[in-house]
Amino acid sequence: MTTPKDDHHCCDHSQSSSVTQTLDELAFERGVWSAALNGETAKVIKFIEGGGDPDTVDNAGYTALHYSSRNGHVEVVSVLLQNRANPNCTTRSGGVTPLHRAAYSGHTDIVKLLLKAKASPLLCDEDAKSPLHKSAERGHMEICKLLVAADRTLVTLKDKRGKLPVDYVMESNVSLKTLLQES
């Protein structure tokens, strides 16, 4: 069992051990981010219908689309994209996109939605890792196939350590290594 802090690595939204919460914690819980994190579609819709901006960032620079993409909430992602959430938004710290988060977490249906909404698979985070790097390091074959189909040049992108996506694949995963070989 994971603790709330382990559930989302971007920032610490775990319950405070004191009786009072900080203003940041209260804002997160009341904002659209908590609803997106927890897959509460009705709350996300209410936020948007009330005039809320789907690209509103929390104090860590994450949007609701980042949270729902990371946690696999297809319906919330769909609602956000239908209401013009930016599929290419990047965090202030790390330069991470929702596509990075979905690819790393193995959420194939969300990767499909994001690509359909024109999320760029070529955007790299501050470590110069593309969503393909993130998916390859976790061995997500179907997502790697989708990303390579979206843009074959992804297999040639090197991160800040000089590594290609294929360099993150376990030696035993021959089929994924084959897919990611430069041709």
pLDDT in tens, 56-67: 998 888 999 999
User: 23 or 76: which carries more pLDDT confidence?
Assistant: 76
Contacting residues for 13 by C-beta, under 8 A, at least 6 apart: 4, 5, 25, 28, 34, 37
For the chain, the domains span 21-179
Pick the CATH number of 21-179 from 1.25.40.20, 1.10.940.10, 3.40.50.300, 1.10.1740.10: 1.25.40.20
Q: Alpha helix (H) ranges present in the chain?
A: 4-7, 23-30, 32-37, 41-49, 64-71, 74-82, 98-105, 108-116, 131-138, 141-150, 174-179
What are φ and ψ of residue 136, in 5° steps?
-65, -40
Residue type, 80: L
CB 141 within 8 A of CB 179: yes
pLDDT in tens, 114-170: 999 999 999 999 999 999 999 999 999 999 999 999 999 999 999 999 999 999 999
